[in-house]
Amino acid sequence: MRTMSTRLGLVFAGFAFLALVAAVAVAIATDTGPVAVAEGEAAEEPVAGITNVMNAVNHEEHGLFGMIKSFCDADGADKDGWALARHRAQMIAEAGNTLMGKSPPRGADDAAGLAKWKQHCANFRDAGKDLSKALAFKKADRAKAAIAAVAAQCEACHKDHRSN
Ligand code: HEC
């Protein structure tokens, strides 16, 4: 009798084990959580909008542009700051590319308006690239001239496309 119940116990334990294995297998197979998120696809979706770019990148005080400005207004006193200023200028130029794919709230309703917007974005990007190159000389005066050229592009675009 005892052997019988021991066997039954073993069989039962065996089934329980198999059931557990099956449950884990199903859980793994149906878990499409973090692993299934296609990073490539997600990365191609634009995340930042125009006002994100304006506040985080372009803002004259707390954007990357403002940081470069105050660095140069202090005549590049922090000698190690030039390289960081260039990284920031590169991202300002990249913001021109980002803006290119957006539609502004004003002045781009037809093909001609949209072409104008894209031209402003391209000019801004090029001014950002020029700023990056100017910063490579580590001369505050030269950098300040390039900063003024970027600021002129801010105004030119706002004149045509900013609503507020
Ligand atoms: C290619 C066009 C373009 C360029 C270049 C540009 N802006 Fe703008 N900016 C806009 C538009 C369009 C808006 C309005 C966005 C909206 O309200 O939807 C705007 C809005 C802003 C705002 C208000 C953001 C808010 O939160 O409402 C600030 C600040 C700003 N820009 C600063 C700048 C500065 C500084 C520069 C240059 C370093 C610059 N922008 C360059 C198009 C541009």
Cβ of residue 154 lying under 6 Å from some atom of ligand 1: yes
**Ligand 1 lined by 50 (C-beta under 6 Å):** yes
14: Cα separation from own chain's centroid: 54
Say what the pTM is. 0.80
**C-alpha 60 to ligand 1 mean position (Å):** 10
Residue 27: the pLDDT is 52
What number of residues does the chain have?
Answer: 164
Best CA proximity match to 101, nearest among 66, 125, 127, 137: 125
With contact defined as beta carbons under 8 Å apart, do 98 and 53 qualify? yes
CA distance readout (Å), 159 to 123, 145, 150: 14, 21, 15
| Terminal Cα distance for the chain, rounded | 90
Angle, CA 47 vertex, CA 42 and CA 158 arms, to 5°: 155
pLDDT at 92: 98
Q: What is the pLDDT of residue 16?
A: 61
Provide the pLDDT for residue 110.
97
Q: What digits encode the pLDDT tens for the residues 2-21?
A: 555 666 565 556 556 556 55
Average pLDDT, the chain: 86
Mean pLDDT by 10 residues, the chain (164 residues): 58 58 52 57 82 98 97 91 98 98 97 98 98 97 98 98 91
The pair of structure tokens assigned to 117 is 């917007």
In this structure, the residue with its CA closest to atom 31 of ligand 1 is 54
